[in-house]
């Protein structure tokens, strides 16, 4: 079991590195009169995050592909795999912009992130605001490159559907909606409904986007897409509960950010509402539900890396 | 001549109102846990701006349509005219987000905009940052609705080309690039090259986006699109020079924001570099060049509203 975990960690690290290289290949070069803002974008984007969202995207893509397709189908898969790359980079850009803005003095006022000074501490508040804006905007600029790769109407439809998801999930009916509630509710006691809304949107929406875009580009049916949405929603819950647990039990050096910040900021968390034991149980239950949904969709892919990854995320130590 | 100006002002007001209604029809409703951020989005988006960008978009669309097309072509025009609407709303959302973030204490620190308190003065800095992010994001969410309206591959290609322009022009190689240079250069003396870079990007890029999207949806050729780009670039220059002139000669009440702010902020402007007379000459020269380019493209549309509008923008009093 310990061996398996070590193997999985190594495999995850390799996949994260691959995803990181794809993200980097789409990062703009710091030059011209706009050099400073691009430096700030690169500083946060290429700071070695876990790359969980792009990895989930590409793994969902691979997971949903049907085995044993003919030569033509292989070519189509190749085309869609190419379209996947700009979307992998785009989702990481959106995730990164949200961290830069979240860390600003007017919001969470954090000085450290991933073990390094936050953007506004290095580049000043004005440049950090612009760098966040720039990353959000550049995410769509990057994703739009998929249109140039689309060879026929079907691929164009998949790319535009993926673009639609990329635009919807991080917005007011997704991530920003969750952030808004989170900002307004800091320092107030939350009930379960409110906390779930924040988890589902602030954290869950980007995970849903990642997996749904992978599914759309793999040519998933509407029914399959709905299944992927439900699985991703459970993964988002498990992931955020694990985050709350880590804020209590985690190691500051390993996490690259201060622990016990929720307590200091008087934030209601899954742990503060239900206690540590129940939080651990819930994280596991959500991830098992996600795995069950995925298994039902592709029983022949039993024991896939995606399933292992889902289980791992719920019990991770960083 | 005075009568003409009065007619044009009335016509422009009517067009702005129509565009405003289209923008409003795409504005999200303030409800749910994300109510506050949507209220902040609506406060700035529906504050009665001049709607110049969506008007330029729809006028460029109409200007480029060929006369005398058959019944099928009419239907295609109808379809593309429907696709135009989400893009009109989207460009105004992007313009509005840039104003909200520009006004923040860490950037221009302005208290008033369009005669009303700025977003952060009403909703707080945290909500103003989120509302700006939300508007930028919602612009792409709104524009992506055009994909649902696209009936065939050709319309899908036009919509995705328009989406690409919408993503590129406001970004680091467009508006945000200009803002970055503007922020870094405030308080320093600028040379002509630098000032032109800021004008072309901070102001020009969104005007280029507006007109180019109108052109793409109207089915413009690559050559025509290049012409529209050049005309729009001149209009952007004329527009920003007019802005600099208004900061010196304008009426505070009419403008809805304080005058002489450039002088107070020690900003290099077209007026500070070249003086008022030369600035007026240049604004006129740029707008005449834009009109000449447009006339060459569609000589049969002599005396169009678009041409009048271009001339008007260079000499406007608000």
Strand, helix or coil for residue A113: strand
Looking at residues A219-226, what average pLDDT do you find? Answer: 97
Contact A167 B107 (CB under 8 A): no
What's the pLDDT score for residue A72? 64
Say how far apart CA B272 and CA B244 lie, in whole Å: 9
- Give the span between the Cα atoms of B83 and B88, in whole angstroms: 9
pLDDT of residue B71 exceeding 60 = no
Instruction: Report the pLDDT value the prediction gives residue A315, as an integer from 0 to 100.
Output: 83
Backbone angles phi, psi at A112, to 5 degrees: -125, 145
Q: Which of A216-230, B94-108, B178-192 has the lowest mean pLDDT?
A: B178-192
Compute CA distances B308 → A104, A274, B5, whole Å.
45, 66, 9
Q: Does the pLDDT value for residue A203 go beyond 50?
A: yes
- pTM of the full structure: 0.95
Residue B116, beta-bridge partner list: B113
Here the tokens at position B247 are: 């900061």
pLDDT for res B78: 81
- A79/B208: higher pLDDT: B208
For residue B14, the distance in angstroms to the closest alpha carbon of chain A comes to: 31
Contacts of B132 (CB under 8 A, 6+ apart): A133, B97, B98, B100, B101, B119
**Nearest residue of chain B to residue A166 (CA atoms):** B141
- Beta bridge partner(s), residue B112: B117
- Taking contacts as CB-CB distances below 8 angstroms, the residues of chain A near B194 are 33
Over residues B121-165, the pLDDT tens digits come to: 999 999 999 999 999 999 999 999 999 999 999 999 999 999 999
Domain boundaries, chain B: 2-314
Residues in chain B closer than 8 A to A29 (CB atoms) = none
Structure tokens at B249: 């000669």
The confidence score (pLDDT) of residue A189 equals 84
Residues B227 and B62: their CA atoms lie apart, in Å, by 16
Taking residue B170's Cβ as centre, other Cβ atoms within 10 Å add up to 30
Is the pLDDT confidence value at A143 over 70? yes
Q: What is the ipTM of this complex?
A: 0.95
E strand or H helix at A116: strand A116-117
Higher per-residue pLDDT: A70 or A239: A239
Give the architecture (CATH level 2) of B2-314: Orthogonal Bundle (1.10)
To the nearest whole angstrom, how far is the Cα of A118 from the nearest Cα of chain B? 16
Asked if residue A51 has pLDDT above 50, the reply is yes
Cβ atoms < 10 Å from Cβ of B223: 9
Residues 6+ apart with CB under 8 A from A35: none
Q: Are strands B112-113 and B116-117 parallel, antiparallel or unpaired?
A: antiparallel
> Which residues of B fall within a CB distance of 8 Å from A133?
97, 101, 132-133, 136, 176
Q: Does A262 score more than 90 pLDDT?
A: no
Over residues B15-63, the pLDDT tens digits come to 999 999 999 999 999 999 999 999 999 999 999 889 999 999 999 999 9
Q: How confident is the model at residue B68 (pLDDT cuts 50, 70, 90)?
A: very low
Task: Tell me the HSE value of B263 on the side-chain side, using a 13 A CA sphere.
Answer: 10
Name the percent of chain A lying above pLDDT 70.
97
Contact B134 A163 (CB under 8 A): no
Mutate to test the interface with A, among B105, B126, B169, B187 (most CBs of A within 10 A): B126
């Amino acid at each position: 079991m310990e061996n398996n975990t070590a193997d999985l960690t190594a495999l995850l690290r390799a996949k994260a590195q691959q995803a990181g290289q794809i993200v980097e290949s789409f990062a703009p070069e710091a030059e011209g009169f706009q050099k400073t803002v691009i430096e700030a974008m690169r500083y946060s984007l290429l700071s070695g995050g876990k790359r969980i969202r792009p990895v989930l995207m590409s793994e969902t893509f691979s997971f949903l592909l049907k085995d044993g397709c003919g030569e033509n189908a292989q070519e189509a898969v190749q085309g869609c795999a190419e379209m996947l790359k700009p979307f992998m980079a785009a989702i990481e850009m959106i995730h990164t912009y949200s961290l830069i803005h979240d860390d600003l003095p007017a919001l969470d006022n954090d000085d450290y992130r991933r073990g390094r000074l936050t953007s506004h501490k290095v580049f000043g508040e004005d440049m950090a605001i612009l760098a966040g804006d720039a990353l959000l905007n550049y995410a769509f600029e990057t994703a739009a490159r998929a249109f140039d790769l689309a060879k026929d109407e079907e691929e164009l439809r998949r790319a535009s559907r993926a673009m639609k998801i990329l635009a919807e999930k991080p917005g007011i009916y997704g991530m920003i909606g969750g952030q808004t509630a989170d900002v307004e509710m800091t320092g107030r006691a939350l009930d379960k409904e409110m906390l779930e809304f924040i988890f589902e949107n602030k954290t869950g929406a980007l995970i849903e986007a990642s997996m749904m875009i992978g599914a759309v580009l793999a040519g998933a049916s509407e029914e399959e897409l709905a299944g992927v949405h439900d699985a991703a929603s459970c993964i988002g819950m498990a992931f955020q509960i694990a985050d709350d647990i880590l804020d209590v039990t985690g190691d500051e050096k390993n996490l690259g950010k201060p622990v016990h910040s929720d307590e200091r900021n008087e934030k209601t968390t899954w742990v503060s509402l239900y206690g540590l034991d129940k939080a651990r149980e819930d994280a596991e239950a959500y991830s098992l539900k996600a795995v069950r949904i995925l298994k039902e969709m592709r029983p022949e892919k039993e024991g896939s890396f995606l399933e292992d990854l889902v289980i791992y995320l719920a019990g991770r130590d960083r």
